[in-house]
Structures are given as structure tokens and as C-alpha cells.
Chain A
Amino acid sequence: MSILVYIENREGKFHKGAFELVSYAARIAKDTNTTVVALSIGEITKEEMSRAGTYGASKVITVNVPRLTALDNAAYTSVIEQAVSLEAATVVVLASGFTGKAIAPRLSARLKAGLVPAAVTVPVSYNPFVIRKKTFNGKALAEIQVNTAIKIITLNPNSFGLHEMPVSSEIVEFQPAFSERDFGTKVLSTDKQVGKVLLTEADIVVSGGRGMKGPENWGPIEELAGLLGAATSCSRPVADEGWRSHTEHVGQTGKVIAPILYFALGISGAIQHVAGVSSSKVIVAVNKDPEAPIFSVADYGIVGDVQKVLPELIDAVKAFKANA
């Protein structure tokens, strides 16, 4: 028996999100008296792999097959399916991100294993196996009971945190088998920025809305984000106006994020926007309208013109960093 956790490596490195998943899996392993096996696809050094041991993975399986360079949902599902069988996994944990959302449903259907998507807690009970997830865009929490022998969980980023639990980890290479049916898709070209903080995984997000008045005013948003090591995002009208790329749109039909700190600058806080950011741990709002709905979900707020407040905010962060 084991808990299998699929962790992504980006350009050969594990990121915080991967270690959060291992921490989460280690907690379930501890509760159920079993061990954690981490699975990684793609080229990675032994040294980097062993870092998963810091968070409780006693075995790390690496699959390095050129055909898996680009994500094919069915092929990746086949790899994880074989690892589940090899390690007699009873629980499979993935991140509720781009890759996890692509693979976990296929794996669930293939193994006839119940899926809890976008979980926000460790199991609240193991018998029956029940986990909480957000529903109705955060307006209610549902307790999902899984009745199948194998359980699959995708975990929302930043919902468990990092917890060190050092163990020595065995590193194993694995050569999976494929069927031709596995590679139904082909990537023709990739356009990717490397090294930038990912919006969906960032600890801090600085977001601008219509109150910013125009794309030419985004300099201070970028500056504040740079100072804080944050990602930038925007509200829907900003993306629709073409002031910013739609990949930055957070909200109901855009990206759903859960950073530790979210700055809503010149964003009124329509319910569709709040649906995308309500899982943030702390929300700071700056808006000139004291009645703006964003203040009903914010933890801290400043009532004022964002164009005037933002430079002061930048100065205050600079002063804070100088003294830190």
C-alpha cells in the first residue's frame, strides 16, 4: 500500500506547489500508516528528486521518455495508472492545476476510482473517506465521500502549506509501456515564458481593474509586483478592453486563484470577480468608492484613488524592505 503523489518538474526543478503536494500526501500517509511515493515525469537530477524526501516521500519514481515532453492527457494517464498498480497505491494526489485537471479525470474513469477535484482539506474522516471541497464558486463547502478502493484527490494550491517531514528517499527509474492509442494529440509549437511567477501558484498577486484607467498606467502595478515577488493579474473588463492579456484575467470565467495575499487595485469586486479570488488568505482592496462590494470580502482596505494610493504603497513597501 502507498500514497502516490504526482509532482510536476519545471525545467528540471520542483516548485513549492510540488512540495506542498508531497506534504499533503505525507499527512494522509501518516494518518493511514503507509508511505508516500512521488512520481515525476521528465528530465531531472537525482539531487533535485531527493528534495521530495524532505517533505516525506520515501520513494521517488522518475520517468524520462522523450515522447512525454509535451503533455498528452491519455499517455500521462497511462504512466500514472502503471505507477498506481506498481506501488499498490490506494490514494493518488495531484495538483488542481493545468496538468492535474487534464489527467485526474481520465485516471478516475480508467481506474473507476472516485475523484475529489479541487480539495481544500485533508480527509475529515477515513472511514468513510470524506474530503471537503469548495462548491458554487466558494459559496458553500461540500463533503465528498469516496466509496471506491482507490481514491483520487486534486488539491487546490496554497490550501495545505509546506510541512517538512524528512525521510531518506529511494530513487527509482521507471520505463512505462504505451499503446498507440495513448498519443492522440500532437503539439506543433510551444510559446512559454520561463522563470516568471505563475499566476495560479503565486503567493502574492497584484491585480488591477478599471480604476487603473488605461494600459499606460500599469507600470506601478508591475513595479509593486516586482518588489513583492508577485504575479500580476486583472479584472475581466481590463482583459476585455485589451489593456492586459486575457491570460491575466482572474474571476469566474478566467483563472481561479488562491494566493496568500491578493491586492485588488481599482477593482469594484463584482461577484464574478470575487468567485475567482475568494480563496485568497488575505485580500487588500484599494477603491475610491467606499460602497464598492470588494470591501465586503477584503480584510484590509484603503478608500481612495488608486492612482494616488499606489505610488505611496510602492514607497511603503520599499521602506519596509529596506528595514527588513
Chain B
Amino acid sequence: MKILVCISNVPDTTTKIKLSADSKSVDTSGIQWVINPWDELALTRALELKETTGGAIEKVTVATVGTAEVEPTLRKALAIGADDAFRVDINPQDAYQVAAELTGLIKANPYDIILCGIESSDYNGSAVGGMLAELLGIASVSSVSSLSVVNGEVQLTREIDGGKETMVSSLPFTAIVQKGISLEPRIPSMRGIMTARAKPLQVVPSFGTESLTLISGFKLPAPKAACHIVDGENVKDLIRLLHEEAKVI
């Protein structure tokens, strides 16, 4: 079996977001870019599966859609342990375009298990995995919190409202993974960083797809008013404020 992990390149969570002068885009100067946290957990799980299933997983590939600027993130994924990488060379306009470009890539290079993080911490869209599965005409399972391969069969747990379900899926399929899929993201070792330089990273031209939506502008949220500190000796006052002023209880 072959696993593909779709990787998104996102600003580090601690990054302060600034807008361009015309508010049409985000000012990317000074942003520290990282692998989207959920994608990092997906990659970690893919590598664990490869190591623990006695040869059932022959290869773990990572792929991203973006310009040359996102390559350090792919190299980091190789350093963590992916075997090879693809970059589709286009600056995508929305999640649909990302999914459509990945579809072109996967049709030319089929995989049995495709892993996507449930959300990217930039546009918070939760959309690429499902769109990709639909465009490929394969099954998708969302909110996947555990994934194992037993005797060539994929077993899953998904988190549903108020509980969880154990499932199986036909192959190939897309798992949209969340917290729980692996405990801690793997950190590249020095040896990993050295060998990553020699691993194949193929740049593929765009498949000529189009987007369905565009971002017409950004706004920064209104600054929050200062916290109203209530005296710890007078907790009743807090409840009164929540009732009379905030009107939330």
C-alpha cells in the first residue's frame, strides 16, 4: 500500500497577522511558516504505520500545492521521514483549486490511503480532503481519530457528535484526520535533515484548474475591551455582572 499525506504550509500559530495596505491580502513579511499542525500529525501516523505493519506500507509520499516558497515545508516533511515529495507549481486561490490540482497529481500517481488534516490553521476551511475524495470518486471519512492497517484492511475510528464509531472503508479512500490520530508530531532528527536533501522532490506543473471562490478582502477583528477584574472576595458580583451586564445567564 502507498500512503499520500497532503501538506499545507501555514503561518506558525504565534504569528501576528498583518494586512497589506489595501487589505486585499495578508502581509507575509516576517511570517514563520510551518507544516499545518493536523497534517504533521497525519504524517506522523503514516510513518508509524509504515514502521509497524511489516512492509504492508511500501511508501509514504507528501504533496503540496504552492509556489517554490513552500518547499522548505516539504523538505521538513521529508526530514521527518516521508520517502518522497511532490509540489504542484501554482499559487492556489481556494480549497477547491488545491483539491483539483491534487486530483490531477493523484490520477497520475495513485495511492491507496490519502491523509488530509481536518483543517488548515490559515483559512480554517476543513474542505480539501472531502473535495479531493469527491473529485477522485472515492470514499472519505472525516474526523478520523485513529487509523490502523490490519491484514491489508484499514480500520478507523471517527469522532461523532457525542461519541465515536469504528469503521472500515473501501480502498482507495481519503481520511480527514484530527486530534488523536497520533499523540505528538515527530520532530526531524539530524540524520533526517541530512538525508532529506537527497530525497526526491518532484515539481509538477499545474493541471490548469480553476477556483470557485476568491477572497475579496480581509478585516482585522475589533480590539477587545479590557478585562473587567472582579474582586476574588466578591464572587457574587461576577454572577450579577454576567446576568445584568453581559446578559448571558
Contacts and interface: CB of A to CB of B under 8 A. Distances in A.
Interface of A: 10, 70-74, 77, 96-99, 101-106, 108-110, 112-118, 128, 130, 132-148, 181, 184-194, 196, 198, 200-201, 204, 228, 240, 246-247, 249, 252-254, 256, 260-261, 271-272, 275, 281-282, 284-285, 295-304, 308-309, 312-313, 315-317, 319-320
Contact of A299 (B17, B41, B122, B227): B227
B95 A115 contact: yes
Nearest to B230: A302
A105 B161 contact: no
A204 B242 CA distance: 12
Interface of B: 11, 13-17, 19, 26, 37-38, 41, 94-96, 99, 118, 121-135, 137-143, 145, 159-170, 173, 176, 178-180, 183, 212-221, 224-225, 227-232, 235-236, 238-243, 246, 248-249
Contact of A192 (B135, B140, B163): B163
Nearest to A107: B134
B162 A254 contact: no
Given A141-B219, A185-B167, A301-B227, 4 more contacts: A108-B212, A109-B96, A296-B227, A309-B235
Contacts of B17: 136, 139-140
A106 B141 CA distance: 11
A190 B160 contact: yes
A32 B176 CA distance: 35
Given A246-B179, A301-B227, A304-B232, A114 B213 contact: yes
Contacts of A96: 126
Contact of B236 (A128, A296, A319): A319
B170 A141 contact: no
Nearest to B94: A114
Nearest to B215: A142
Contact of B127 (A77, A105, A185, A192): A105
B19 A140 contact: yes
21 contacts: A71-B160, A73-B141, A74-B133, A108-B134, A109-B131, A114-B96, A114-B212, A134-B124, A140-B218, A141-B218, A143-B216, A187-B166, A252-B13, A271-B14, A282-B246, A296-B227, A299-B225, A299-B246, A300-B246, A302-B231, A313-B238
Candidate in A96, A138, A187 with the most chain B CB atoms within 10 angstroms: A187
Nearest to B37: A253
Contacts of B243: 320
A105 B168 contact: no
Best-buried of A138, A139, A141, A196 by chain B (most CB within 10 Å): A139
Nearest to A201: B161
Question: Which 10 A-B pairs rank lowest in CB-CB distance, beginning with the nearest?
Answer: A184-B139, A105-B130, A192-B163, A304-B232, A114-B212, A109-B134, A102-B142, A114-B213, A106-B134, A312-B235
Contacts of B173: 184-185
A152 to B, nearest CB: 9
Most chain A CB atoms below 10 A, which of B142, B170, B228: B142
Contacts of A300: 227-230, 238, 241-242, 246
B159 A247 contact: yes
Nearest to A275: B13
A130 B217 CA distance: 10
A181 B128 CA distance: 20
B4 to A, nearest CB: 17
Contacts of B213: 114-116, 144-148
Contacts of A135: 122-124, 218
A204 B131 CA distance: 33
A239 to B, nearest CB: 8
A115 B122 contact: no
